[in-house]
Amino acid sequence: MALIRLNEIAHSYLAKPQGPSDYALKRIHNEWEDGGAYALLGPSGCGKTTLLNIISGLLTPSEGRVLYDGQDVTDLPPEKRNIAQVFQFPVLYDIMTVYDNLAFPLRNRRVATNEIRQRVHDVAELLDLTPFLKKKAAGLSADAKQKISLGRGLVRSDVAAILFDEPLTVIDPHLKWQLRRKLKEIHEQLKLTLVYVTHDQVEAMTFAEKVVVMIEGEIVQIGTPQELFESPAHTFVGYFIGSPGMNFLPCTIEGRSARVNGTAIRLDAATASLGKQAAGEIQLGIRPMYLQVHDHPVDDSVSAAVTLVEDQGSCKIITLAMGNQVLRARVPEDHPVPVEKAWLVFPPDWTKLYADGRLLR
């Protein structure tokens, strides 16, 4: 396994890029720790596959260097980088048995027969493929075939990293959860460096120790699922992670308060002070689960109109309006829901400010 360093990487698919919008990756400068499990998360077109292909060597970046354990591999093709890759669709030999498919990457590297047998049986066991070892891959379901592809990625013990590009796309929804858990378990056992591309926040949050969130060719935050949830570094992370997404309200800062449509919402002193100094468009952000909803006025509460209540079984989502600003609160199932008018408390610890989309505090 290896520590992977991306040094000032930028990439454009154009021969002569004119400006930032011509770059699929704008500036990526970070490290992927040895043995870490990372999910690369972001909407379609944000540059996830481009970045993964630069890490694997399928693509040479227009600018910057890729280092594996300090060694510059920027100009090396994938086969010289000692990595395993698992793609969206199964890559295997239909006419071979499951055993031979799993053994192939090891035979190719002239690993001893005894060791091959051991590794293939271990990986088959991990992925519940043991009953299929003697069967031809051709007759198996799409799920089983993709498990073989995963197995071919996992079977080598000497790889620098395993790179996954949306590997569960073809998997049946009820099996997806099982396989995500499986990958997490495998990572805990084998401590492999894993980089996993997905646009599904649930997949990223259940699989990864660290989630790398990208938008428009940039990494906007790298954090644990809890850090992304509690302190989104960018309004996009707030929207994208959590259901419903974070509330964002345009505001101005006056003294210790944020003013939203004429209503003053109390902030903590340090947050208000940063907001006052900041340039750009200021927004207040709060997660629906941290917004407190009362059916009567309480200290520091502000009023809002109740426009919709959705019962989701384990909780209720209340949609509220403060003038023309709409926001959502998530309350426990048994929480009393006000009729028409509610009083909201924005706990200062959970009330964040953003300037031009970036977290101030």
> Both tokens of residue 355?
């300037």
Binds ligand ATP (CB under 6 A): choice among 8, 13, 312, 336: 13
Cα gap 66→77, rounded to integer Å: 12
- Element (DSSP H or E) covering residue 99: helix 98-108
Min separation Cβ 12 and ligand ATP, Å: 9
Q: Which is nearer to ligand ATP, 40 or 192 (by Cβ)?
A: 40
Q: Which is nearer to ligand ATP, 171 or 329 (by Cβ)?
A: 171
Q: β-strand 302-311 against 341-345: which pairing, if any?
A: antiparallel
Q: With CB under 6 A, what is the number of residues at the site for ligand ATP? A: 11
Region of 40-48, 71-79, 341-349, 353-361 interacting with ligand ATP (CB under 6 A): 40-48
Binds ligand ATP (CB under 6 A): choice among 24, 106, 120, 237: 24
The reply on whether position 12 binds ligand ATP by CB under 6 A is no
Q: Which is nearer to ligand ATP, 169 or 319 (by Cβ)?
A: 169
Min separation Cβ 104 and ligand ATP, Å: 27
Long-range contacts of 77-84 (CB under 8 A, 24+ apart): 81/56, 81/57, 81/160, 82/158, 82/159, 82/160, 83/55, 83/56, 83/57, 83/159, 83/160, 83/161, 83/162, 83/163, 84/152, 84/153, 84/154, 84/156, 84/159, 84/161, 84/162, 84/163
Q: Which is nearer to ligand ATP, 50 or 146 (by Cβ)?
A: 50
Q: Which is nearer to ligand ATP, 199 or 256 (by Cβ)?
A: 199
Q: Which is nearer to ligand ATP, 45 or 336 (by Cβ)?
A: 45
* 351-357-359-361 Cα dihedral, nearest 10 degrees: -40
Cα gap 103→87, rounded to integer Å: 18
Min separation Cβ 258 and ligand ATP, Å: 34
Name residues contacting ligand ATP, limited to 342-361 (CB under 6 A): none
Min separation Cβ 82 and ligand ATP, Å: 23
Name residues contacting ligand ATP, limited to 45-64 (CB under 6 A): 45-50
Residue pair 225/232 in contact (Cβ under 8 Å)? The answer is no
The amino acid occupying position 150 is L
Min separation Cβ 74 and ligand ATP, Å: 18
The reply on whether position 266 binds ligand ATP by CB under 6 A is no
Q: Which is nearer to ligand ATP, 87 or 343 (by Cβ)?
A: 87
Min separation Cβ 79 and ligand ATP, Å: 20
Cα gap 266→48, rounded to integer Å: 39
Name residues contacting ligand ATP, limited to 172-211 (CB under 6 A): 199
For 259, other C-beta atoms within 10 Å of its C-beta total 15
The amino acid occupying position 125 is E
The reply on whether position 28 binds ligand ATP by CB under 6 A is no
The reply on whether position 329 binds ligand ATP by CB under 6 A is no
Q: Which is nearer to ligand ATP, 88 or 130 (by Cβ)?
A: 88
Q: Which is nearer to ligand ATP, 50 or 351 (by Cβ)?
A: 50
Q: Which residues contact 24 (CB under 8 A, 6 or more apart)?
A: 11, 12, 13, 47, 50, 217
Cα gap 220→104, rounded to integer Å: 39
CA atoms within 13 A on the CB side of 289: 12
Binding region for ligand ATP (CB under 6 A): 13, 24, 42, 44-50, 199
